[in-house]
Chain A
Amino acid sequence: MAKKKPDLAPSSSSNDAQLRRDLLRQMLLIRRFEERCAEAYALGKIGGFCHLYIGQEAVGVGAISVLRPDDYVIGSYREHGQALARGMSPRAVMAELFGRADGCSKGKGGSMHLFDRNLNFLGGHGIVGGHIPLATGVGFAIKYRGGDQVCLCFFGEAAVNGGAFHEALNMAALWKLPVVYLIENNRYGMGTALERASAINDIAERACSYDMPNEVVDGQDVIAVREAMQRAVQRARSEHIPTLLEVRTYRFMGHSMSDAVSGTYRTKEELEEYMKRDPITVLRTDMTKRGEWTDDDMTALDEEVKAVVEDAWNFADASPEPALESLYEDVYVDTTSDAPVGAEIAS
């Protein structure tokens, strides 16, 4: 390449500044969105189980920021933040949480089952570890079609103790499938600490069983998550090699809305210690140090995302309940694939 670094530096740094601003905005949007979810839950507008992402925003935002639109994302039941990071409309997500007809899943799925086919967001799955083999299947389909997409699969650290995790990773490594398995290690499977559930504490090492590349990542630093994810995506895209990322984070809320933030299984002191590394503060501080972000910028951004969330709330609140006739819709599709399909594999 002709150009040398000095020439590129200004524009590159301004691009980086823009990137940091985008990442900060996404994290802040998720934070404000989830705070309003907690409020809506308390008001009875959201029912069932509701698992918030507060504290873990850098994980979803950093990892998804690396992907292309034609890549795939699949997650567990703590997926509001990932859905928003993937670009799902806050309106459609909030309406789904409110159980309304305009929800992304027509009010049929709720908090744990957010889907968006247009964004290749493959859900929201409610059985711990159950969706990890699905990600392997998506990787299989990519390879089958000869594509260069990647499937990113989020799950919590508690899922690594179950059979589905091992079966899925073994096949992905055996068959060389383009999947990034991302453990969001928030230290607790509901109320059971990692050390009380897993025989090894450095769970990234589980990848060694499958001779799979792995990395431990600081999940409170969105840039660190991005960089690790870039390495993993590169391996998956160009070499069809899967990766296991252990991203260490912490949830600042309870396991779900029906769970105390601290108490029986973790102390207030521990929580406060971890909250010192709030992912939003970490990035904001870095941006301030670089001289590219002021308190006024922060206030303006906060107002902007709060307005987006307010709009989502109002949209959801105004959206009708699903029609009763829809109860029996979408149990089956009324179609078959009768037309012969030739040599070209449809996507």
Chain B
Amino acid sequence: MPVITYRDALNQALREEMQRDDRVFIMGEEVGVYQGAYKVSKGLLQEFGEMRVVDTPITELGFAGVGVGAAMVGLRPIIEFMTWNFALLALDQVVNSAAKMLYMSGGQYNIPIVFRGPNGAALQLSAQHSQAWESWLAHIPGLKVVAPGTPYDAKGLLKSAVRDDNPVVVLEGEMLYNTKGEVPEDEYLIPIGKASVKREGEHCSIITFGKMVLVALQAADQLAKEGIMVDVVDLMSLRPIDTETIVASIHKTNRAVVLEEGWELSGIGAQIVDIIQREAFDDLDAPVLRVHQADTPMPYAKNLEKAAKPDAQKMIAAVKKVMYLA
């Protein structure tokens, strides 16, 4: 099976979906002539032309709204945010227009649109460029939210997002674009709303998503050397959340740590803990712990940034704590 980057997996998904459906177009800053700020849209302008690969002014609110308007009358836009950090300016369109249109029109206008781009922190980009938006977006009824952590998942979920007749948010990762993984040549789709177990183990569950999947797998490798086998549940979809897979994992391990890139208060992890206490209370042998970003804006200095971010060491400590080994 070919091994390709996360970036190329997304690029394949875009190309394939644009080839199969003329209504699909991509719009955003630097997606065309520049070939994508992170090269995700590389080559698309040459293949599909400037009506379908549209460079915009730097105007997130404006072009997100252009996408919604186009979707109302039959097109299927893919709106690229150079990063989700800039998409805060567009949230009125994502939330008030895209997510609510079907409901407030009494079912008349669905919005088949994808909003995608890298989410969360990269390296030393400091406070305004390092924010994880998933809990904001997953909060909104009417949106679907996916956060793939591997090239295989990125391609399969993006293709499903483009075909979905609802607005779908795709949270990618700057630090993920260069990561590699196996991606089959034959076409496949990954259903939105399904989690996947990325590693099997019986001692403790790690429940996570997005780029934290890699952190969880690192921690799992090291823990395995100490004889601790963890189950790594990759949620992949944050709205809807696959409760069944979470509960099945807890049933097996009786312990859990929830790992996320964002902040603690009202984070995705809080929702997962709520699901666990409601659906798997009797399975638990220890309180569920959470690993997340420090409750501060992201600092610039290397040492402070490292201290602020969740990492494998913090995960290992948390797993040992729920196993009463530390």
Report A's interface with B, CB cutoff 8 A.
Answer: 72, 74, 103-109, 113, 115-117, 120, 122-127, 130-145, 163-164, 167-168, 170-171, 174, 329-333, 335-338, 340-347
A329 and B106 CA atoms in complex are apart in Å by 9
22 contacts between A and B (CB under 8 A): A74-B69, A115-B106, A123-B104, A123-B105, A130-B65, A133-B66, A134-B72, A139-B69, A143-B51, A144-B25, A144-B70, A164-B65, A167-B59, A170-B62, A171-B57, A171-B62, A330-B107, A331-B102, A331-B141, A333-B110, A333-B166, A337-B165
In the complex, the answer to whether B165 meets A133 with C-beta atoms within 8 Å is no
Query: How many chain B residues have a CB neighbour from A under 8 Å?
Result: 49
**Is the Cβ of A347 less than 8 Å from the Cβ of B68?**
no
Q: Closest CB-CB distance, B182 to chain A, in whole Å?
A: 25
B108 interface residue per 8 A CB criterion? yes
**B165 contacts A113, C-beta separation under 8 Å:** no
CB distance from A289 to the nearest CB of B (A): 43
Given A133-B66, A163-B61, A138–B109 Cβ distance below 8 Å? no
Q: Which of B51, B97, B103, B160 contacts A108 (CB 8 A)?
A: B103
Q: Verify if B75 is at the interface (C-beta below 8 Å from A).
A: yes
**Does residue B274 face the partner (Cβ distance < 8 Å to A)?**
no
B72 touching A333 by the CB < 8 A rule? no
Chain B min CB distance to A341 (Å)? 4
Q: Is B128 an interface residue (CB 8 A)?
A: no
Could you tell me if A137 and B67 are in contact, using CB atoms closer than 8 angstroms? yes
**CB-CB under 8 A for A170 and B108, given A140-B66, A141-B73, A344-B22:** no
A residues near B108, Cβ cutoff 8 Å: 105, 115-117
- For residue B144, which residue of chain A has the nearest CB? A332
Encode contact with A along B243-279: 1 for CB under 8 Å, 0 otherwise.
Answer: 0000000000000000000000000000000000000
A92 to B165, CA, bound (A): 26
- List residues of chain A with CB within 8 A of the CB of B74: 141, 145, 346-347
- Set of chain B residues within 8 Å of A346, measured between Cβ atoms: 23, 74
The CA of A122 and the CA of B111, in the complex, are separated in Å by 12
CB interface residues, B 78-113, toward A, < 8 Å: 92-93, 96-97, 101-110, 112
A264 to B26, CA, bound (A): 49
Question: Are B97 and A131 within 8 A (Cβ)?
Answer: yes
Interface contact B20-A340, CB-CB below 8 Å: yes
- Within the complex, which residue of B72, B102, B112 is in contact with A137, where a contact is CB–CB below 8 Å? B72
Contact call A137/B68, Cβ cutoff below 8 A: yes
Docked-complex contact B57 and A113, CB < 8 angstroms: no
Give the residue of B22, B57, B110, B164 whose beta carbon is less than 8 angstroms from that of A170. B57
Residues of B participating in the A interface, judged by any CB pair closer than 8 Å:
20-23, 25, 51, 56-57, 59, 61-77, 92-93, 96-97, 101-110, 112, 141-142, 144, 160, 163-166
* Complex CA distance for A86 and B69, rounded to whole angstroms: 19
Assembled-state Cα–Cα distance A331/B141 (Å): 7
Which of B65, B110, B166 interacts with A168 by CB under 8 Å? B65
Q: Are B61 and A133 within 8 A (Cβ)?
A: yes
Q: Which residues of A contact B59 (CB under 8 A)?
A: 167, 170-171
Q: Among B59, B63, B93, B106, which residue has the most Cβ atoms of chain A within 10 A?
A: B106
Q: Which residue of A lies closest to B192 (CB)?
A: A336
Residues of B within 8 A of A344 (CB): 22
Determine the distance from Cα of A130 to Cα of B70 in the docked complex, in whole angstroms: 15
Of listed A125, A144, A341, residue having the most chain B CB within 10 A:
A144
CA distance A117 to B112 in the complex (A): 16
Q: CB-CB < 8 A to A170: which residues of B?
A: 57, 59, 62
Per the bound structure, the CA–CA distance linking A109 and B106 in Å amounts to: 7
Q: For the complex formed, measure the closest distance between the CB of A76 and the CB atoms of chain B, giving whole angstroms.
A: 13
Determine the chain B residues whose CB is within 8 A of the CB of A337 once the complex forms.
21, 76, 112, 163, 165
Contact between chains at B57 and A333 (CB < 8 Å): no
- Chain B residues near A131: list those with CB within 8 A: 65, 97
Query: Across the two chains, which residue of chain B brings its CB closest to A92?
Result: B106
Q: Which of B64, B76, B106 contacts A330 (CB 8 A)?
A: B106
Instruction: Please report the C-alpha to C-alpha distance between residue A132 and residue B20 in the assembled complex, in whole angstroms.
Output: 31
Which residues in A have their C-beta under 8 angstroms from that of B104? 105, 108-109, 113, 115, 123-124
Known: A144-B70, A171-B57. A130 touches B92 (CB 8 A): yes
Of B23, B96, B107, the contact of A345 (CB 8 Å cutoff): B23
Chain B CB within 10 Å, residue with most, of A108, A127, A130, A134: A134
Given the known interface contacts A335-B165, A336-B164, the answer about A138 and B69 at a Cβ–Cβ threshold of 8 Å is yes
Contact A133 B57, beta carbon cutoff 8 Å: no
The answer to whether A332 and B102 touch (CB under 8 A), given A140-B69, A346-B23, is yes
A126-B96, A136-B69, A138-B72 known; 10 new pairs, CB 8 Å cut-off, are A106-B107, A117-B105, A122-B69, A131-B97, A133-B93, A144-B51, A170-B62, A171-B66, A332-B142, A341-B20
Q: How far is the CB of B109 from chain A (nearest CB, A)?
A: 6
Q: Which residue of A lies closest to B191 (CB)?
A: A336
Instruction: Identify B93's interface contact among A130, A174, A330, CB under 8 A.
Output: A130
Bound Cα distance from A143 to B166, whole angstroms: 23
Q: How far is the CA of A330 from the CA of B108 in the complex (A)?
A: 9
Q: Are B166 and A130 in contact (CB under 8 A)?
A: no
Question: Which 4 residue pairs are nearest across A and B when measured between Cβ atoms?
Answer: A137-B69, A133-B65, A167-B62, A106-B106
* Chain B nearest CB, measured from A270 CB (Å): 33
Cα A108 to Cα B76 with chains together (Å): 25
Are B73 and A109 in contact, CB atoms less than 8 angstroms apart?
no
Partner of A341, one of B23, B66, B92: B23
Q: Is the CB of B70 within 8 A of A140?
A: yes
List the B side residues contacting A116 at CB < 8 Å.
108
- The contact of B66 among A74, A123, A126, A137, by CB within 8 Å, is A137
By the criterion CB–CB under 8 Å, are A164 and B61 in contact? yes
Q: Which residues of A contact B57 (CB under 8 A)?
A: 167, 170-171, 174
How many angstroms between the C-alpha atoms of A72 and B70 in the bound complex? 12
